[in-house]
Structure 1
Amino acid sequence: MVRSVIKGIAATSLIGAAFFSGFNSQALLGRKEDPLRTTPLLLATRLSEATRPASAKAGSSDLSPIDTYHSVLEKIISEYGTPPTEPKALGKWRDRLRYAGIEGMLLAIGDRYTEYWDPEEFKRNMEDTQGRFFGIGARLDVTTDKKYPMIIEPIENSPAWRAKLKPGDAITSVDGKSALLSDQQHLDDVIKRIKGEEGTKVKLTIRRGTEVKDYVFVRAQVNSPVIDSWMQDEAAKIGYIRLDLFSEEADTQFGIALERLQRQGMKALIFDLRNNPGGMLHVAQDLASRFLPGGPVTWLKEKNGQMRSLDVNTSLRRGPLAAGKIPTVVLVNGGSASASEIVSGAVQDGGAGFLVGTRTFGKGLVQTIIPLQEGEGAVKITTQRYYTRNKRDINTFRDESGAVTKLGGVKPDMVLTETDKDIEAQWNALRDKPFDRKAAAKFSPQVAKGIELLKARMAGKPWPKSEKDLPDKPEKSETVSAKPKDAVGPYSKPTHEPKLTE
């Protein structure tokens, strides 16, 4: 059965269109020849003549590129003098050789977003988009002294929730191995050890104040919450919704949060897309449909140059948001990418809200994820471009080194940068008061500006004049802040890789 990264089951070998970023690889260019290296290379080439199949010797066709690749790989595996001796390490070494060959081939394309996912990366990215995984179910940050992973919030009905773990609990070991964070062991490494197969056990040593206790968990399927919400200003009835990722369940969770805030009398909304790297395209389409009365959400440009629109989902085109009855400020920054840019661009183009923050990442390319045979991972290939509701091209162009040659992204209506000091204050507040979900937002100048603008809007004043079409002012570079990570979910470390699956 072939599963679509986009949604459900695909009838073809494709897993679906996706907006995922790649890692920047560096080619070895301009290296001078070393005669001491060239001589053994020539000798090896001559010796290889004796091992070539008859069909590939003089008078016959040469080896195909694929046959050449396999031939070289086999020779390295059989002839290399100092491979790992331990069987498991030897297997990993051989896998790395195979993967490096594939990555080198994709590097020749010159597209930083076209890449190969090994089986582990493929599995991890599928967990991201589906929002389901196996583990204990807890959001993690690090302790105030940055030495150990710390529980931010147990996910409801998860093993961690049933064990009554609390915000502020520190994880000091996993299965008897220290969880002390260092240059050799990052938060992501500890998270990988906490995750595992369904039904298997994992032992965590938890420190709560001066008390230290061991907990044994049976790993279970956990549905990752990607939405957090609360009434940010009780007096003015200004609600706040933060979306971490456009996973399969994101629109449903957004709807639940919106209804809850409306029952509390919400009159205005801050929608936080900062540091959201993207997710699934159809989810972005659905979520944007909650803000727009109709028309396109985004445009896709096919390989043949034809443009087609993804329009507002009429079944979701309802309620006070789409009717313009709830003034909305959308927060964005350099970590807002792909699906976040689809939604924020649609809201801005449609006049459905006011954007505050800094220019978004700028990824207007579409990738198609093609799974290989079982256990061999997948290849992700750029196949399309996308444009905003008003057909703006927001793609940032970069050279081979990753340097920006043409600035893209969605520029907010009001540019407001948060400094490193601002972000550190937010994290310190969250670590000092892990029970207070509003703690970090209280130290955010962007959230404060959103509240100010919404109060003015509710008082009958118009939005300020948009800065989106004005020339950029010289600014200090913004630090994209990391978010709390999910111990068993898609978040492990702040990679900020743009992604969006259809």
Structure 2
Amino acid sequence: MKSKLGVTFAVAGAFAAGIVAGPMVGAVAQEGSRAETYRLLSLFGDVFGRVRAEYVETVRDRELVENALNGMLSGLDPHSSYLSPRNFEDMRVQTRGEFGGLGIEVTQEGGYIRVISPIDETPAARAGIRPGDMITHLNGNTTQGLTLQEAVEQMRGERGTSIRITVRREGEARPLELAITRDVIRPQIVRFRMEGNDVGYIRVTSFNEQTETNLRRAVQTLRNQAGTNLRSIVLDLRNNPGGLLDQAVQVTDDLLDQGEIVSTRARRNEDAQRWNARSGDITGGIPLVVLINGGSASASEIVAGALQDHRRAIVMGTRSFGKGSVQTVIPLGSGNGAIRLTTARYYTPSGRSIQATGIEPDIEVQSSRQDNSQQASAQRERDREQDLRRALRNEGSNATQAAPPPPPPPMNLPQATLDRIQRQPPEGFPSLDPTKPETDFQLQQALVLARSLGPAPQRRAQR
């Protein structure tokens, strides 16, 4: 008994000392007395000691502590988490633009793993993984009860090894079994091409350290190819799960001449931040059409929201995911990993918080045919931030003054142009395939709009 008590109080004392010495004690003390804080830490130490001494199998101390950290952070919101040393290194590699695994962006919902978006031209995308798929089993073992990090770690592995994934998909009566072979993921995060001789198309699939550099290269190449014929650009952010905040700011800065890009508001007023555009639009003011959908999240919503608020672009597609929170990665020292902690909400230039609401397009265009039934309407509203367990609420309604509504489309579009844009694909239209414009209905309609903007190529060439 003496040994068990020694472990209990040693652990409790260690945790208490860490918090007293660290910056968190003030925040904890605000919710109650310091004595209450010590009592709760003693409770943690008692449970730790009992599990360590009496669990049916021997458990490593590190495993117990990491599980406790996972529980503490994942219980806050869907995006806060503990990163083990291995996961922390994987995250750093991923943000540099290369990592190993399946090529899939996931979150946690209802105890299972839900797909936000597969990355283009990766094993997950080639296997047919879709946004909204619920991953219920990995190699026949349920994902129920796994933390998000544990599930991600199982999906990663050496190139050439395979994994069996069971997914539950809306509209499918039976679960789908998919065998996927892992690969080194080097996603081409910015793709571009000319559509005809007058419209440039740029697709951005994520925001890592290479995004802004590649966007500049894409715009310059398109302008060199088309010359004075370049009438407008379609910026495709569909199924872009986001990434680095600074890259979203730099990309938006590239497309604006002036004005606010985004602001963040944290728990303390003094931690609020604001980013403004510098002079210089790399497109030379060419009209923009931005495509978004329910898989457009976080950094991609920052870009779309800023361009919409400044009337720099017409936003087309369907409502975005609605992730309006900022996560800060805080290293915990050598060999201890890091925590990813939600530290702020972000706001578009007009003061809108899109947390759990998303960006509403200026012109709604569906990717697949929908009827007006209640079931179809409910399906359109699923699989977004607001549906995630413990998602942060939108605090716009608590402000002293309501945030202004999204602005109207940035140009006085003729009614004839609006009449040409179809909101739903016709009966029998092929499924979405972003690699083939002829089967991508939303892109087709974006091109109709893009060709109605700006001067005709012939007139521009004469100037």
Q: Could you tell me the TM-score, scaled by structure 2's length?
A: 0.59
Equivalent residue of 1:446, what SS? helix
Cα root mean square deviation, aligned = 4.4
Superposed counterparts of 1:267-416, under 5 Å: 267-305=231-269, 307-314=272-279, 317-319=280-282, 321=283, 323-324=284-285, 326-396=286-356, 398=386, 401=389, 416=423
Distance change >3 Å, CA 183–CA 420, structure 1 → 2: farther
Q: 1:143 to 1:382 in 2, by over 3 A?
A: closer
Q: Give the Å deviation of 1:350.
A: 1.0
Question: Which residue matches 2:115?
Answer: none
- Does residue 425 (structure 1) correspond to residue 443 (structure 2)? The answer is no
Letter in 2 for 1:261: L
Q: Report if the CA contact (8 A) 1:357-1:412 is conserved.
A: no
1:127 aligns with 2:124: no
1:446 matched to 2:427: no
User: How many residues are paired up?
Assistant: 330
Matches within 5 A, 1:131-150: 131-133=97-99, 139-141=121-123
Letter of the 1:239 counterpart:
G
Q: Give the aligned residue type for 2:193.
A: W
Letter of the 1:102 counterpart? L
Higher helix share: 2
Going from structure 1 to structure 2, the CA distance change for 1:381 and 1:444 (only over 3 Å counts) comes to: same
Aligned residue for 2:274, secondary structure, equals strand
Cα shift readout 1:467-496 (whole Å, capped 9, x = no counterpart): xxxxxxxxxxxxxxxxxxxxxxxxxxxxxx
Which of 103, 109, 112 pairs up with 2:78?
A: 112
Paired residue for 1:73? Answer: 48
Kept in 2: contact 1:285–1:310 (CA 8 A): yes
TM-score, length-scaled by structure 1: 0.55
Query: What is the rounded CA distance, in whole Å, between the counterparts of 1:113 and 1:143 in structure 2?
Result: 23
- The AA in structure 2 aligned to 1:234 is G
- Kindly provide the CA deviation profile for residues 10-39 of structure 1, in whole angstroms up to 9, marking residues without a partner as x: xxxxxxxxxxxxxxxxxxxxxxxxxxxxxx
CA 1:453–1:135 in 2, change beyond 3 Å: closer, same or farther? Answer: closer
For residues 81-109 of structure 1, the C-alpha deviation after alignment (integer angstroms, 9 at most, x for no partner) is: 245xxxxxx76xx655333211232355x
CA distance in 2, matches of 1:419, 1:95: 57
Q: Can you list the C-alpha shifts for 1:95-148, whole angstroms capped at 9, x where unaligned?
A: 55333211232355x43332222334323322232213479999434698879x
Aligned partners of 1:394 and 1:410 also within 8 Å: no
Residue number in structure 2 paired with 1:244: 205
Residues 248-273 of structure 1, C-alpha deviations (whole Å, 9 max, x = no match): 11000011111111111133111000
Distance in 2, Cα, partners of 1:391 & 1:292: 18
> In the aligned structure 1, how far is the partner of 2:127 from the partner of 2:214?
33
Letter in 2 for 1:270: V
Whether the 8 Å contact between 2:309 and 2:406 is mirrored in structure 1 is: no
Query: Which residue of structure 2 lines up, in the alignment, with residue 203 of structure 1?
Result: none
The answer as to whether partners of 1:356 and 1:450 remain within 8 angstroms in 2 is: yes
Q: 1:142 to 1:234 in 2, by over 3 A?
A: same
The answer to whether the 8 A contact 1:330-1:354 is kept is: yes
Distance between the aligned counterparts of 2:265 and 2:215, measured in 1? Answer: 29
User: Does residue 259 of structure 1 match 2:220?
Assistant: yes
Name 1:476's counterpart in structure 2: none
CA displacement 1:306-355 (0-9 Å, x = unmatched): 554201134xx244x3x42x221100011111111111111111111110
Unmatched segments (≥5 aa) in structure 2: 14-34, 104-119, 130-156, 168-175, 358-385, 397-404, 410-420, 457-463
Q: Aligned partners of 2:161, 2:273: CA distance in 1, in Å?
A: 53
Q: Percent identical across equivalent pairs? A: 28
Partner of 1:52: 5
What is the letter of the counterpart of residue 275 of structure 2? L
Partner of 1:227: 190
Whether the 8 Å contact between 2:82 and 2:340 is mirrored in structure 1 is yes
CA contact (8 A) 2:301 2:320 kept: yes
Q: Which protein has greater RCO, CA pairs closer than 8 Å, 6+ apart?
A: 1
Unaligned runs of 5+ in 1: 1-47, 84-89, 148-173, 196-221, 428-437, 461-502
Opposite residue 384 of structure 1, the aligned amino acid is A
Deviations 1:131-183 (A, max 9, x none): 13479999434698879xxxxxxxxxxxxxxxxxxxxxxxxxx9898747553
Residue 235 of structure 2 contacts residue 290 of structure 2 at CA under 8 Å; is this kept in 1? Answer: yes
